[in-house]
Structure 1
């Protein structure tokens, strides 16, 4: 299945470049697995277990801190592939062990699991895996292990995928890998109550033996249970709550790189009570500055950028460095100079899961110590964190459509405006959508006179449909087109 080009040594074996899986059907299966399964996860903390999980049968496993790979069993020449199409093959101890088990498998079998590096007297961490796979011919491939938790295709002589439920799936995995040392089925406990899951959390996670738990019910629900953690971050911008501009709807968060520039990390809309949202608005609104960089929230509003003076403590349940397709997450590095923000370039980054505001840190400042980017590196591996930051010139946007309507009522003129533009930047950085549809609604007699709606679109056809729907919903009798 592997291409021969750019195959590099991994100890006595080999690791191939991204896109090396020639079987397009298999490559699509591996790539799609992560997005399909990840979309079904529900992230919880220990404190949320009893409120979110009902009594019933659950299969609970420790979460191994490694990387998602797949063991492909085809005859006596097994190999490992990942969602990006990289391949590990050849004289690797865990693959040699897999070959000894090959007579148990029925046709081609694809097993999903966590590739990790064995560490003495400590639990595995993804950084250990990176270390073990580095060094080319000197790589310590003998430390590689593989914990299997799912079966996508094939099976044993008696049963093959698809299976009726996860209990049946896992029983087949256990049968296939019985006696394995470097390749094993993940430890799995069958429990019936949330209290038993809490006990396993105490045993495995709080005692430092695992980074979290995975709990599967007998249907399709999968719970990922991990300890929450906090990160101190700078507030880079905010959006207003629809219908009440005195409240902050969401804040844009960033961390400072070693060179003093900021990297955009995440938005956060979990900001507690209305009073706290109003207090935050009073703190942030006076700090507004210009920005040639634009960033939209998840709901489509454009962030108002501010001076980086407010530091907040953010609680999250997890950090991800790859998206659901297995591609590295990148985010924009931006520079604050002369009271304005400018984009620099997108670099490898991370995303916080379920961020929530804990408090404003009045005791901390926006400096390279208090809001350092390396806070992430204490928990995950970000590709090339010290990569040199070089500015890029982004293409200019192109306005495709601009229409304005007005209406006079009781001597006051109301205005509505539609603007559609092509960014011409979607190939340069993932932070830009291909098309933007912007609607402005100004009514001087309204409590909140100015309202805006921003919609992002991947193509011109979709942008046109959004624009036409906005016109249909907003332009009624009495509105006169002026542009």
Structure 2
């Protein structure tokens, strides 16, 4: 036990402690809160938008490729602490910090912990020698106490100084204090920082520091404490192996599942890509991919809780993302499924380390690329962020089978007197009943002389196509829905409401088939409690999983699902009790 940590092991001449070791719970909460708040304040800035988005003076700092740690002094003791509770004490870097901070009181300073040959005469102000620091080097140095002298710390902010909270102090004042504290520092310094006049200076330093690979990127701060992160973007070529659908009244693409090829020919899932598509693109991709659907014993759900479809690995696409990261918040390597593709079917081969993409965007199809390791291999990523086990085979574990330990299904049938249902002719604005028509589109229709559902037909196709942002896809949809709404057995319930700006709101309108109304509508809510039996084989599995489903036929998204986890049966029981109190009320019956 040390001053800061409740458990530790020898590291270099000092000690290090794993996640969760920080004794001071108040300090731990402060560090975690800073991490969550600072992450929310960062805005990704593309190089192409420098001129448009930077219109004032900014402080331009080099972004050091390291891990977020905090230099902490408390009651005369100095340590490096991470937000997840790791602690480093009494090594070269903390000894230097202790000397620098000997004349100040308690202090908390966020910064980047990086790795470099700091004793080398060729080490530059960015922390590198011939190459810039890389974040993956930090974990290697932390694993070997003989390399403790290679750790450096670039202080970029202040949380607490001389018992004062510094969160609202202007950055310019913080910078002056940091420069004074760490002047002529060797291991503990501040990142190269200059005051820029605007976009031109930002562009110049981006070329001078980032494009020459001296640093990973730039951090830009203005007087309003808005923080931009400016980096070169990462592009990667990957193969589409599946897709998910959006929750619409018509089928279209929600996100692509893309994968890279390992040296043994297996496909390693890189992640999902949902940005970069127009509505027409999403419909076209759906129509194309649905014809390529194949069987897979590996299942993956989309964000709506429905299962994704898997397709033949044939189409290669280019993806752009702001960055890739190889570890989670606890510094555990991110792991993703590796799939074997044989005889027209995917089979899960195991989980292996791979990076996650941050803000992935679809760019284009790469018809010039071929389906081989040279074009869609792991080296594209490994050259940027080396990760574990690149050349190893998947670790295939025979996991114990899960079991259902509790399951309940509840239903409720509702309806209303058909006499209360109104015909479509009684609607204030019948065109608004078409799902893709809102107030702005309604204005376009009226300007074209189309004021009722009967006018949305084949005879007016050219007029419909001439509407702003119209397309063949939308015209087909409008005509189909207008025909459906004009059927004799269609009724509606509820009334339009008006927003504060006077626009009509159709959220309270419900459309029914009269035959269904007479029979009543069936609502279903259920839960399943699963005991995984896998937590001792793989720590990523929770002991218990509670999966719940809520089906409502009138809702825009009829099926809602949720997943909760529990570390023991008692806590699982509490989750079920809370779910039941919230969802099972008057009128619901057990099936």
Per the normalisation by structure 2, the TM-score is 0.68
**1:389 & 1:252 partners in 2: Cα distance?**
22
1:22-51 alpha-carbon deviations (Å, 9 max, x no partner): 222223333443222112211121112333
The 5-angstrom pairing of residues 345-424 of structure 1 reads: 345-385=350-390, 386=392, 388-391=394-397, 392-393=399-400, 395-397=402-404, 400-403=407-410, 409=513, 417-424=524-531
- Is the 2:114–2:134 Cα contact (8 Å) retained in structure 1? yes
> Displacement, 1:280?
1.4
Q: Give the match's secondary structure for 2:218.
A: strand
What is aligned with 1:165? 170
Give the number of the structure whose residues are more often helix, by fraction: 2
**1:362 & 1:355 partners in 2: Cα distance?**
20
Change (3 A) 1:297 1:220: farther
Q: Give the match's secondary structure for 1:50.
A: helix
- Is the 1:256–1:371 Cα contact (8 Å) retained in structure 2? yes
In the alignment, is residue 437 of structure 1 matched against residue 548 of structure 2? Answer: yes
- Is the 1:32–1:325 Cα contact (8 Å) retained in structure 2? no
**1:467 & 1:342 partners in 2: Cα distance?**
38
- Correspondent of 1:125 among 113, 134, 138: 134
Change (3 A) 1:297 1:276: same
Q: Give the match's secondary structure for 1:62.
A: strand
What is aligned with 1:35? 36
Q: Give the match's secondary structure for 1:151.
A: coil
The 5-angstrom pairing of residues 297-376 of structure 1 reads: 297-323=302-328, 328-336=333-341, 339-343=344-348, 345-376=350-381
| More moved, 204-213 vs 126-135 | 126-135
> Displacement, 1:21?
2.1
Change (3 A) 1:455 1:348: same
**2:60 & 2:550 partners in 1: Cα distance?**
48
- Correspondent of 1:186 among 170, 187, 191: 191
| More moved, 361-370 vs 351-360 | 361-370
Change (3 A) 1:74 1:453: closer
In the alignment, is residue 7 of structure 1 matched against residue 4 of structure 2? Answer: no
1:79-131 alpha-carbon deviations (Å, 9 max, x no partner): 22223322222242x2232222122322x212111122234233222244445
- Is the 2:69–2:111 Cα contact (8 Å) retained in structure 1? yes
What is aligned with 2:64? 64
**1:179 & 1:399 partners in 2: Cα distance?**
65
What is aligned with 1:176? 181
What is aligned with 2:20? 19
1:378-424 alpha-carbon deviations (Å, 9 max, x no partner): 22243454475123345245673335678995667987654433354
Change (3 A) 1:155 1:347: farther
The 5-angstrom pairing of residues 254-273 of structure 1 reads: 254-273=259-278
Give ranges in structure 2 of 5+ residues lacking alignment.
Answer: 117-127, 416-511, 566-574
Give ranges in structure 1 of 5+ residues lacking alignment.
Answer: none
**1:466 & 1:270 partners in 2: Cα distance?**
35
| More moved, 200-209 vs 374-383 | 374-383
Change (3 A) 1:65 1:15: same
What is aligned with 2:119? none
- Is the 1:81–1:88 Cα contact (8 Å) retained in structure 2? yes
| More moved, 456-465 vs 36-45 | 456-465
Greater CA radius of gyration, 1 or 2? 2
- Is the 2:271–2:356 Cα contact (8 Å) retained in structure 1? yes
1:296-347 alpha-carbon deviations (Å, 9 max, x no partner): 3335443223333332211111112344566543434444455444555544
- Is the 1:237–1:306 Cα contact (8 Å) retained in structure 2? yes
- Is the 1:105–1:176 Cα contact (8 Å) retained in structure 2? no
Q: Give the match's secondary structure for 2:107.
A: strand
In the alignment, is residue 142 of structure 1 matched against residue 149 of structure 2? Answer: yes
The 5-angstrom pairing of residues 49-60 of structure 1 reads: 49-53=50-54, 55-60=55-60
**2:561 & 2:6 partners in 1: Cα distance?**
47
**1:155 & 1:129 partners in 2: Cα distance?**
30
Q: Give the match's secondary structure for 1:79.
A: strand
> Displacement, 1:457?
4.3
What is aligned with 1:115? 113
Give the number of the structure whose residues are more often strand, by fraction: 1
In the alignment, is residue 234 of structure 1 matched against residue 239 of structure 2? Answer: yes
What is aligned with 1:81? 81
> Displacement, 1:362?
3.0
**2:230 & 2:51 partners in 1: Cα distance?**
12
**1:50 & 1:367 partners in 2: Cα distance?**
39
What is aligned with 2:431? none
What is aligned with 2:208? 203
**1:58 & 1:394 partners in 2: Cα distance?**
57
- Is the 2:338–2:394 Cα contact (8 Å) retained in structure 1? no
- Is the 2:349–2:394 Cα contact (8 Å) retained in structure 1? no
Count of equivalent residues: 463
Q: Give the match's secondary structure for 1:370.
A: helix
What is aligned with 1:221? 226
